[in-house]
Amino acid sequence: MAKNEKLQVCIHRGRHRLMSDKGKLLEEANRFLWALDTRGLSPRTIRAYAFDLLVLYRWMSEGGHCLERLTQSTLLDFVAHEQARGAHPSSINRRLTVCRLLHHFHYPNGLKSASGTSLPAPYYRGPGRERHLGVHRLHKKRELVLRVKIPDKQICPLSGEQIREYLRSLRRYRDIAIVHLMLLSGLRSREVLQLGCSDICLIERRVRVKGKGNKERIVPLADLSVLSLEQYLTYERLRGYDDETLFVCLQGKRRGHAMTPAGLRSIFRTRRKNSAVQDANPHRFRHTFGADMARRGVHLYVLQKLMGHANPEMTLRYINLSMEDIADAYYAAAKEIQKHYDLE
């Protein structure tokens, strides 16, 4: 690709592809994306890969690099470039993974090591099994790969007062039902938008959810969710709507058509402005569901299935206590200690 050409992600024959501003396809990257298409990965996953490749190829074009001559040491420059742009560590690691997959696709011998390479050091984890659950055997790493350290992220669920305040700000049964599905069943915003009328079974109190990678799971419905869905279907979602999608627009030119991600975001953005709850967003309600289930002793495997996590380590984040939980446990114990020593 010439240096004066600019890359962009475009839709070519219904697929996400990399193309220059002069209409020239970047075959090296697009053959890799075509292989992902052939494997059956979801369009959203292909789109994510395409944008990560866009970042990588723009950096290679600016620095005069090419895929064939990339080394572990050269990728340190890419990491420094991404850090200077303010990219999140998890985003940098994802792009490094995409880079390795792309390089292995074209050059199966792998990225070469070079002087100046800094890789994570192997560490002793004890014999036998991994440290979180103790159910999986540890396998010796075949190779060390370049990664950026990701800081621990604390799960901060909404409080009961915040949830009540936010729900009081809602004026439509549709919006209440959406929040209930996130708060009481742990659905992602994309999963809510993909629900069809046939996915909801109010009599059996369950919903069929299509999660990431088109993996289906069945999630029970709480009594409040059933009530709000019944009210929405009875009073707001008219039977004349021919769209099978469960949640539709209720006014404007798109009335009766499926809600879009932008439409869902606007609901939460507007309500945050009109209520005292400034931190409310779709994923925050899902986080609150996970934390509430963990606090009440729901088994890790059950919670993993409810939330649709492929990796149990994702679910373990909800098991780790928040600062509020630690403070509550401390004050309860301190009160008993004070009684024991007659300090009151």
Report helix, strand or coil for 300.
Answer: helix
Helix axes 160-168, 173-185, angle to 10 degrees: 160
Give whichever of 138-142, 181-185, 288-292 has the largest mean pLDDT.
181-185
Report helix, strand or coil for 313.
Answer: helix
Q: Residue 108 phi/psi, 5° resolution?
A: -60, -15
Which pTM was predicted? 0.71
Mean pLDDT of 18-22: 83
The chain-wide mean pLDDT, for the chain, equals 83
- pLDDT tier at 11, thresholds 50, 70, 90: confident
The kind and range of the H/E element at 337 are helix 323-340
Cα–Cα distance between 178 and 234 in angstroms, integer? 15
DSSP state of 108: T
Give whichever of 83-87, 112-116, 119-123 has the largest mean pLDDT.
83-87
Residue 317 makes CB contacts below 8 A (sequence gap 6+) with: 153, 155, 290
* Residue 131 pLDDT > 60: no
Scan for tokens 């009440």, then name that residue.
296
Determine the pLDDT at residue 329.
77
Determine the pLDDT at residue 225.
95
Determine the pLDDT at residue 237.
87
Concatenating the DSSP letter of every residue in 144-184 gives ----PPPPP----PPPHHHHHHHHHT---HHHHHHHHHHHH
* Residue 275 pLDDT > 70: no
Residue 206 makes CB contacts below 8 A (sequence gap 6+) with: 218, 219, 220, 221
Mean pLDDT of 172-195: 94
* Residue 118 pLDDT > 90: no
What percentage of the chain reaches a pLDDT higher than 70? 82
Range in 179-188, 201-210, 315-324 the model is least confident about: 315-324
- pLDDT tier at 274, thresholds 50, 70, 90: low
- pLDDT tier at 291, thresholds 50, 70, 90: confident
- Domains in the chain and their CATH numbers? 7-106 (1.10.150), 160-325 (1.10.443.10)
Report helix, strand or coil for 71.
Answer: strand
* Residue 324 pLDDT > 80: no
DSSP state of 290: H
| 21-77 per-position pLDDT tens digit | 777 888 999 999 999 999 888 888 899 999 999 999 999 988 889 998 888 888 999
Determine the pLDDT at residue 173.
94
Q: Which long-range contacts (CB under 8 A, 24 or more apart) does 219-227 make?
A: 219/185, 219/186, 219/187, 219/306, 220/185, 221/184, 221/185, 222/180, 222/184, 222/185, 224/180, 224/184, 225/177, 225/180, 225/181, 225/184, 225/185, 226/202
CA–centroid distance for 61 within its chain: 30
Mean pLDDT of 224-239: 91
